[in-house]
C-alpha cells in the first residue's frame, strides 16, 4: 500500500515537474524572442545614431567657415577698442548732461 502511495506521489511530482519544465521552456523561448527583438531594435537605433552623428559633423563642417568669417569681421584692433570706449564714455556724459538739463 505504501509503495502505491509513493508511486502515486512520485508520478504526481513528475507531472508537476513536467508542467513546470514546460512553463520554463515557454518562458525561456519568449525571453529569447524578446532579446532578439530588442537586439534588432538596438542595432537600428545604433545605426540611426551613427547617421545623426555624421549629419552633425557635416553641418559643423559647413558652419565652421561661417564662424571664422564672423570672427574675422568682428575682431577689432586695440585702437578701435579705445575709440569705442571713448565714444561710449562721451555718449554716457551727453546722456547725463541732457538728463540734468531736463530736470532743471
3-class SS of residue 104: coil
pLDDT along the chain (104 residues), means of 10: 66 85 94 94 92 88 80 68 86 83 70
Taking the model in full, what pTM does it have?
A: 0.45
Where are the chain's structural domains? 2-75
Q: Which residues contact 84 (CB under 8 A, 6 or more apart)?
A: 76
Nearest to 17 by CA among 6, 29, 9: 9
> For residue 7, what pLDDT is reported?
64
Phi, psi of 75 (to 5 degrees): -75, 140
The answer to whether the CB of 84 falls within 8 A of the CB of 76 is yes
Amino acid at each position: 500500500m505504501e509503495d502505491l502511495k509513493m508511486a502515486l506521489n512520485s508520478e504526481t511530482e513528475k507531472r508537476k515537474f513536467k508542467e513546470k519544465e514546460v512553463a520554463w521552456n515557454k518562458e525561456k523561448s519568449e525571453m529569447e524572442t524578446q532579446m532578439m527583438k530588442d537586439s534588432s531594435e538596438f542595432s537600428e537605433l545604433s545605426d540611426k545614431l551613427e547617421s545623426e552623428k555624421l549629419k552633425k559633423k557635416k553641418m559643423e563642417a559647413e558652419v565652421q567657415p561661417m564662424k571664422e568669417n564672423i570672427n574675422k569681421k568682428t575682431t577689432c584692433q586695440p585702437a578701435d577698442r579705445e575709440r569705442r570706449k571713448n565714444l561710449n564714455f562721451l555718449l554716457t556724459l551727453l546722456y547725463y548732461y541732457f538728463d540734468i538739463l531736463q530736470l532743471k
